[in-house]
Amino acid sequence: MTRSLAANRRPQTTGRPARSRWAAPARPVWEEPPGRTGLAAKGAVLVLACLAVLFPLWIVVVTSLSTKKTITETGGLVVVPRDITFIAYQELLSGGQVTRAAVVSVLVTLTGTVFSMTVSILCAYGLSRPGSLGHRFILLTLMATMFFGAGLIPTYLLVQTLGLTDTYLALILPSAVSVFNILVLRGFFMGVSPELVDSARIDGAGDLRILWQIVMPLSRAVIAVITLFYAVGYWSAWFNASIYLSDQNMMPLQNVLIQLAQKQEIPVGLGQAVKAGNLSGLAVQMAVMVLALLPVAVLSPFVQKHFRKGMLTGAVKG
């Protein structure tokens, strides 16, 4: 026993792998626990990857907090913080314009997301049930819209004819439903065990009850992901407002932020230049980016845990 153990150990102590390990590996090398070097390399790669993401964000935040003097001296983007000032944020948030636009954006995002999710879930559930009336035709029709768009002018004419221009509905209805999102939801719903659905049906549950009490609770991951997709879409949207709205008081946050960022690029006279003092156009632009990113950055971690599962399911089923 002792001899045999020693014999087994020998190849390892001499650094030669046992022949049997090469011939029939128990599992692939990448599934082996990494050694110290491997761990260090992995850690380094992850740190670098994080830095690659965080460094630009750092620059954005620091530049937004910099004075005009600092920005001029660095010739643009600031890496090392100096003379921190919140003047760019004060400029953006004073006057009530941004506050009003933020309220508009929040309301549009909430209403739009609820509406979009309701329509998408109902549609996806219908399409996921085998044998539902005309589901193949409806599915193909929906998919056709992914490849053939009407174009801006026909869409504008439709929105105008429906009397939606200069209404908040113009910010929601034209982009309310994403066929891609419906397909992802449908793929997930189709994976719900048919036995569960059948037993619920035997117990007398109708489709709405099955959807609400069986399918949706089992699909929280994908619903969270799609909700995020829609919410980010509504929050970030600016083009529809540019095209369909003329009333400045109705503009959502993104449009107002774009306008404010542009304002800072307009040259001013001596009087204004003195008055503007520490305010830099670039700082305002960076502050605009921070404000626009903030809600998404805050929201994302809460749905992050669902993200992988939700996306993977949508990707492999359909």
Partner 1 sequence: MTPNAVSTDSRRSTPSRSGSGQSRRGFLASTAVAAAVAAGGAPLLTACGGGGSGSGKKDGTTTGKDAAKLLPAFVASTVVAPDIAPKNGSAAGFTRAIPGAELKASVTGRRGKGGALTIMAPFWGPPPAPDNPYYKAMNEAIGVRATWQNQDGNVYDQKLGAVLASSEIPDVVVVPGWNLGGRIPSAVDAKFEDLGPYLSGDKVKAYPNLAAIPTDAWQRSIFGGTLRGLPMPASYVTNIAPFYRKDLFDAKGWQLPKNADEFLALAKEITSAKAKVWACGDMTWTAYNMFGVLSGSDKALGWNLVDGKLVNRIETPEYLEALEWTRKLFDAGVVHPDEKTQNQGDTGNRFTAGQCLIYNNDLSHWYAKTSEQAARNASFAMAAMDIPGHAGGLPKLWATNPANIWAFIRKGSSKAVIEDALAVADFTAAPYGTKERMLTDYGVEGVHHTVKNGLPVKTDKGNQEVSSSWMFVASPAPYIAHPDTPEVTRAMTEWQQRMGAVTSKSSFYGMTVTEPSRWTGLMNDFEQLEKDIVRGRKKVSDMQQAVSEWKTKGGDELRDWYRKLLDTNGSAAS
Applying CB under 8 A, which of residues 269, 298, 301, 316 lies at the interface with partner 1? 269
- 272-301: which residues touch partner 1 (CB under 8 A)? 272-274, 276-277, 282
Comparison of 40 and 268: residue with beta carbon closer to partner 1: 268
DSSP symbol at 34: P
Q: Which residue has the tokens 């004073």?
A: 94
User: Applying CB under 8 A, does 77 fall inside the site for partner 1?
Assistant: yes
For 263-288, give the secondary structure using H, E and C. Answer: HCCCCCCHHHHHHHCCCCHHHHHHHH
Distance between CA atoms of residues 35 and 129, nearest Å: 49
User: Applying CB under 8 A, does 74 fall inside the site for partner 1?
Assistant: yes
199, 212 Cβ separation under 8 angstroms: no
Applying CB under 8 A, which of residues 132, 160, 300, 304 lies at the interface with partner 1? 160
| Nearest-5° Cα angle at 239, 238 to 244 | 105
Comparison of 123 and 283: residue with beta carbon closer to partner 1: 283
- 91-120: which residues touch partner 1 (CB under 8 A)? 97
Number of Cβ within 10 Å of residue 191's Cβ equals 15
Smallest distance from partner 1 to CB 110, Å? 24
- 207-266: which residues touch partner 1 (CB under 8 A)? 239, 242-243, 246-249, 255-256, 258-260, 262-263, 265-266
Angstrom distances, CA of residue 274 to CA of 41, 74, 174, 185, 277? 52, 20, 45, 56, 5
Tokens linked to 73: 């001296």
Comparison of 89 and 189: residue with beta carbon closer to partner 1: 89
Smallest distance from partner 1 to CB 97, Å? 7
Applying CB under 8 A, which of residues 8, 12, 20, 72 lies at the interface with partner 1? 72
Closest CA to 221 of 300, 303, 125, 299: 303
Closest CA to 136 of 100, 186, 171: 186
The residue count for binding partner 1 (CB under 8 A) is 42
Smallest distance from partner 1 to CB 167, Å? 15
Residues that bind partner 1 (CB under 8 A): 68-69, 71-77, 97, 152-153, 156-157, 160, 239, 242-243, 246-249, 255-256, 258-260, 262-263, 265-274, 276-277, 282
